[in-house]
Each structure stands twice: as structure tokens, then as C-alpha cells.
């Protein structure tokens, strides 16, 4: 049934392979062995999938490697369909507990500002998904990010910086900070009302 829905048995096998191995890259001959399909049909489907942006490629050691694009717009729903283990959706995560990952960020000790953008905010083109400002213990920050990644079903790009550095960058209109702030974003925490001034 899924073959009919997605138009190609090879494409279904490729989606299954890539969506069960996020962050792992494969070269063409390795893929053909893993999914037991002809090299020409694998190349054709890889080209089609690259055309729509669901996979990316990189050249390393004279081999072209392919991997899933975790920033693809429909990555999470596709992963829910093709992943072998059950993927926790945002709705299930919220229903399962009264606390969400946004609360985890807001309750980090020493946090003064948390801005979400990128894949977490519809219409955002930012490469950074979470900007965190304050003196937050690294272990607690990593735990909060890991929890958010589990709920979102993808890796998140985040950056953390001390308050003084952020304030300076904001005052000199640093490109990195202004691209996040001027683009589509959501403010989760702003204890000093820096962004409402």
C-alpha cells in the first residue's frame, strides 16, 4: 500500500533507510546493498529526492554521500510514517505531560533570554533553532536540548552566550544576532525585556 502511495518501491525503501538513520550518510553502492535494489533505480530516486530537498549530499574522499535533511519541512511526519521505533509527536508529548520542552528552557537556572526560530517557527529562515542567553550550566542546557530534540524528532541547532556578549552584539547590530531577531522568531523567556524595547 505504501508503495502505491509513494509511487516507487525503491523510494519507499530509501525513505525507510534514511528516516531510520538520521545523521548517518551513505554512498550509492552501500545503499544498493542495504536496500537490495538496482543501482540505476537508486540513482534516479536519489536524484528525485534531492530535487525536492528531502535528502542532501556531500562529497567526501571521492565518494558522494547522501543523508536525510532533518530541516526538510515534512521531515517529522515522514519520520512518523517510516521510522521503525515510535516517534513521539508534539501532540502526544503535550498530552502525556503537563510540562513541555519550552518549560524546560524557561526553568533553566541563569537563563535570561530564550528565542526560538528556524525549524521551530513556521516561516523562519534562520539556521539557528534556539538562541539562549545567560549563564546556564552546560549539562542542564544539553539535557534541555536533548529533551526538545526528542519531542521535535530532529536535531536542533542551538547557540548559547553570556548576557554581556549578547547585549554587546545586539548594541553593535551584530549580523548573527540581528538575523535571528529581525527574522521570524518566538520569544520564550525575556527576563530583562531586551527584545521589547
pTM here is 0.59
Q: How far apart are CA 45 and CA 87, in angstroms?
A: 25
By residue range, what is the domain housing residue 161? 90-190
Number of compact structural domains in the chain: 2
Give the end of a domain, one of 82, 99, 129. Answer: 82
The pLDDT tens digits of the residues spanning 151-185 come to 887 888 899 999 999 989 988 999 999 898 888 88
Q: Torsions phi, psi of 106, nearest 5?
A: -65, -30
Go through the chain and tell me how many residues it has.
Answer: 197
Buried/exposed code over 161-180 (b: 16+ C-beta within 10 A; e: otherwise): bebeebbebbeeeeeebeeb
Three cell numbers, residue 30: 552501500
Q: How far apart are CA 43 and CA 38, in angstroms?
A: 9
CATH of the domain at 40: 1.10.10.10
The pLDDT tens digits of the residues spanning 70-98 come to 888 888 788 888 877 654 444 444 434 43
Q: How far apart are CA 101 and CA 86, in angstroms?
A: 19
Amino acid at each position: 500500500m505504501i508503495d502505491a502511495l509513494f509511487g516507487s518501491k525503491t523510494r519507499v525503501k530509501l525513505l525507510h533507510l534514511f528516516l531510520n538513520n538520521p545523521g548517518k550518510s551513505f554512498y550509492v553502492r552501500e545503499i544498493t546493498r542495504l536496500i537490495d535494489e538496482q543501482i540505476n533505480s537508486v540513482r534516479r530516486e536519489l536524484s528525485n529526492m534531492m530535487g525536492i530537498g528531502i535528502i542532501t549530499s556531500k562529497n567526501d574522499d571521492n565518494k558522494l554521500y547522501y543523508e536525510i535533511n532533518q530541516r526538510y519541512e515534512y521531515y517529522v511526519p515522514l519520520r512518523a510514517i517510516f521510522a521503525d521505533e515510535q516517534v513521539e509527536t508534539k501532540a502526544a508529548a503535550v498530552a502525556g505531560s503537563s510540562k513541555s520542552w519550552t518549560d524546560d528552557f524557561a526553568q533553566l537556572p541563569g537563563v535570561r533570554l530564550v528565542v526560538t526560530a528556524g525549524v521551530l517557527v513556521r516561516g523562519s529562515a534562520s539556521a539557528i533553532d534556539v538562541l539562549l542567553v545567560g549563564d546556564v550550566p552546560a549539562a542542564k542546557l544539553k539535557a534541555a536540548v536533548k529533551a526538545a530534540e526528542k519531542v521535535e524528532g530532529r536535531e536542533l541547532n542551538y547557540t548559547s552566550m553570556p548576557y554581556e556578549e549578547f547585549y554587546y552584539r545586539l548594541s553593535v547590530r551584530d549580523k548573527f544576532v540581528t538575523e535571528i531577531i529581525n527574522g521570524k522568531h518566538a520569544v520564550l523567556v525575556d527576563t530583562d525585556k531586551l527584545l521589547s524595547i
